[in-house]
Structure 1
Amino acid sequence: MFALCRLVDTVVTLYIWLLIASVVLSWLVAFNVVNTHNRFVRQLGDFLFRVTEPLLAPIRSVLPAMGGFDISPVILILALYFLRDLFFEYVCFR
């Protein structure tokens, strides 16, 4: 059981870091700090988009337009922390 709890914690933590990397990369692209014509940047952005968008898209469809601000990653990170803690409370610490 400890291994399962450790695996869930690792996967959730890794996914949260991928979300943060996706947000930071989108800011760097928006402010022209990195060039999307660079092959590595394009591949990294595509990977992060494919990994994070399946969970972010449903949140974005529910949220109203906020004038250019996208708070869906924040909501997803909070939800992941909540679900992880709920999992630990009812599965790992029983």
Structure 2
Amino acid sequence: MGSLILVLLFIIKIVWWIVLAHVVMSWLIGFNVLNRNQPIVWNIWTGLNRVLEPIYGPIRRVLPNMGGLDLSPLVLIVILYALQTILVRNAPMFY
């Protein structure tokens, strides 16, 4: 059971890094540092959106409309941190 917890923690860490890359890339696109017309930027951007949109969608439906501010990545990071904490605190029960 300990191996399963380690795998879940690894998956949480990967999702956290993907969310962080998406947020940083959205800032860089928003400030015109990156151009979505470049093929590599477009491929990375659409790939990140395809991975994260199924996760962001339910969060966006629950959150109130904040205008142009999207808080769903922040909420997802908090959820990932909570899951990580729950797994780490309860791990000794499974050994």
Quote the residue 2:3 is aligned against.
3
- Aligned residues: percent identity? 39
Q: CA deviation at 1:2?
A: 2.3
After TM superposition, where is structure 1 displaced by more than 6 Å over at least 4 residues in a row? none
Q: How many residues align?
A: 93
Normalization by structure 2: what TM-score?
0.89
Structure 1 residue 84 corresponds to structure 2 residue 71: no
Query: What amino acid maps onto 1:93 in structure 2?
Result: P
Structure 1 residue 93 corresponds to structure 2 residue 92: yes
Query: What amino acid maps onto 1:81 in structure 2?
Result: Y
In 2, the alpha carbon distance for the partners of 1:2 and 1:83 equals: 16
The unaligned stretches of length 5 or more in structure 2 are none
Normalization by structure 1: what TM-score?
0.89
Quote the residue 1:37 is aligned against.
37
Quote the residue 1:56 is aligned against.
56
Query: What amino acid maps onto 2:69 in structure 1?
Result: F
SS at match of 2:20: helix
RMSD value, Cα:
1.2
Q: CA deviation at 1:89?
A: 3.0
Query: What amino acid maps onto 1:79 in structure 2?
Result: I
In 1, the alpha carbon distance for the partners of 2:45 and 2:66 equals: 23
Query: What amino acid maps onto 2:3 in structure 1?
Result: A
Quote the residue 1:66 is aligned against.
66
In 2, the alpha carbon distance for the partners of 1:67 and 1:58 equals: 17
